[in-house]
């Protein structure tokens, strides 16, 4: 049997490490050995550049989840230095994982490009930063993964056209995404995956799905619709302090996503012969024969032979 191309599963650790380098390494280890993902992803911000002075000094909108008295100090607390990111990348590579990071500003982009990872993500919040997109297109040789949450169709088209004009279309992965934490099922909008594939599949590398929904029911469906990268937020404890944990999967949930994706990739095929080997003993035991002359395929209107 020909097996379908497998999806790449991305465990987004993001800032769920709570600013603890030891916890980040523990999460990488669990994602690799227990969940068996292929990629882990972090986030990189330079809060003084990213935030306006007013945003930096404002209190966190949900004080319980804050790691500092102001939103800016909260963000600073959760940041790793570029050298720590270098160490995380090396640790991932030692385990046979791909390291990736989303970049939220120009300073972060320059720092992460210096590490030469396989892929860099542009989050939905920053996908209209054409200075950022242009810098990555010109200075980064790896894959550009771009999330399309909070983005209308005209903006989406302008992003893709910009990257194609810069000559990097075939290095781009576009992610269908609804930016909510968590997202109700009726707003996950999985058919956006098919729309993106139909619209841009011929000019970008791949289509992905960044899921912020609860549970694991939608991920295999996203894959069957054409998403070749499935990204899920990852945590060791969904009750931890921080706004992303509630929309994240704990280790057993992420393990099940990987398991189910493996099963679906094996099942997505046609029968290579009319009666498979597994059916032969059952046919011999159970099949009842009392039929008129068989119809040919040509005799059945609109019949389709997928193996033709």
Q: Which of the residue ranges 165-179, 198-212, 284-298 would you say has the lowest mean pLDDT? A: 284-298
Three-state DSSP at 110 gives helix
User: Is residue 279 domain-resident?
Assistant: no
User: Is residue 155 domain-resident?
Assistant: yes
Q: Is the pLDDT of residue 180 over 80?
A: yes
CATH number, domain at 176? 3.20.20.70
Given this model, what pLDDT does residue 103 score?
98
Residues 47-70: what's their mean pLDDT? 95
Write the pLDDT tens digit of every residue in 70-112: 999 999 999 999 999 999 999 999 999 999 999 999 999 999 9
Split at pLDDT 50, 70, 90, the class of 4 is confident
User: Is residue 99 domain-resident?
Assistant: yes
Residues 48-68: what's their mean pLDDT? 95
Reduced 3-state DSSP string for 212-243: CECCCCCHHHHHHCCCCEEEEEECCCCCCCCC
User: Is residue 3 domain-resident?
Assistant: no
Structure-model confidence comparison of residues 261 and 300, the more confident one: 261
| Contact yes or no for 161/205 (Cβ under 8 A) | no
User: What percent of the chain has pLDDT above 90?
Assistant: 89
Q: Is the pLDDT of residue 2 over 60?
A: no
133: closest CA among 185, 92, 168?
168
User: Is residue 139 domain-resident?
Assistant: yes
φ, ψ dihedrals at 82, nearest 5°:
-65, -35
Q: Which of the residue ranges 15-19, 42-46, 276-280, 296-300 would you say has the lowest mean pLDDT? A: 296-300
User: Is residue 291 domain-resident?
Assistant: no
Report d(CA 143, CA 48) in Å as an integer.
Answer: 27
Structural domain that includes position 39: 8-267
Residues 210-234: what's their mean pLDDT? 97
Does the pTM exceed 0.75?
yes
Report d(CA 26, CA 98) in Å as an integer.
Answer: 16
14: closest CA among 75, 60, 63, 61?
75
Residues 114-143: what's their mean pLDDT? 98
User: Is residue 229 domain-resident?
Assistant: yes
Spell out the long-range contacts of 231-234 with Cβ–Cβ below 8 A and sequence spacing 24 or more. Answer: 231/9, 231/10, 231/12, 231/41, 231/175, 232/9, 232/10, 232/11, 232/12, 232/257, 233/12, 233/14, 233/16, 234/11, 234/12, 234/13, 234/16, 234/27, 234/31, 234/35, 234/40
Split at pLDDT 50, 70, 90, the class of 294 is low
Given this model, what pLDDT does residue 137 score?
98
* Tally of domains in the chain: 1
Q: Is the pLDDT of residue 206 over 70?
A: yes
φ, ψ dihedrals at 74, nearest 5°:
-60, -45
Mean pLDDT for all residues in the chain: 94
User: Is residue 306 domain-resident?
Assistant: no
Residues 108-124: what's their mean pLDDT? 98
Q: Is the pLDDT of residue 186 over 90?
A: yes
Q: How far lies 73's CA from each of 54, 66, 173, 212, in Å?
A: 12, 9, 32, 26
């Amino acid at each position: 049997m020909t097996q379908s191309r497998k999806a790449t599963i991305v465990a987004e650790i993001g800032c769920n490490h709570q600013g603890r380098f030891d916890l980040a390494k523990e999460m990488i280890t669990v994602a690799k050995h227990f969940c068996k993902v292929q990629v882990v992803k972090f986030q990189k911000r330079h809060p003084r550049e990213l935030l306006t002075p007013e945003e930096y000094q404002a209190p966190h909108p949900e004080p319980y989840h804050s790691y500092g008295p102001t939103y800016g100090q909260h963000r600073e607390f959760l940041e790793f230095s570029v050298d720590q990111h270098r160490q995380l990348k090396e640790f991932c590579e030692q385990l046979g994982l791909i390291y990736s990071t989303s970049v939220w500003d120009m300073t972060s982009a320059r720092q992460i490009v210096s590490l030469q990872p396989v892929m860099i993500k542009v989050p939905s919040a920053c996908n209209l930063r054409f200075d950022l997109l242009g810098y990555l297109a010109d200075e980064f040789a790896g894959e550009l993964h771009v999330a399309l949450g909070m983005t209308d169709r005209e903006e989406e088209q302008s992003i893709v056209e910009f990257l194609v004009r810069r000559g990097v279309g075939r290095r781009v992965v576009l992610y269908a995404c609804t930016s909510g934490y968590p997202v109700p099922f009726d707003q996950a909008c999985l058919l956006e995956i098919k729309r993106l594939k139909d619209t841009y599949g011929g000019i970008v590398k791949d289509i992905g799905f960044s899921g912020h929904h609860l549970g694991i029911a939608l991920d295999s469906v996203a894959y069957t619709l054409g998403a070749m990268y499935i990204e899920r937020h990852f945590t060791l404890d969904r009750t931890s302090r921080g706004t992303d944990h509630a929309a994240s999967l704990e280790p057993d949930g992420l393990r099940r996503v990987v398991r189910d994706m493996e099963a679906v990739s094996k099942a997505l095929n046609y029968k290579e012969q009319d009666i498979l080997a597994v059916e032969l003993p059952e046919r011999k035991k159970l099949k009842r024969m009392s039929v008129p002359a068989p119809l040919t395929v040509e005799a059945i209107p609109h019949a389709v032979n997928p193996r033709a």
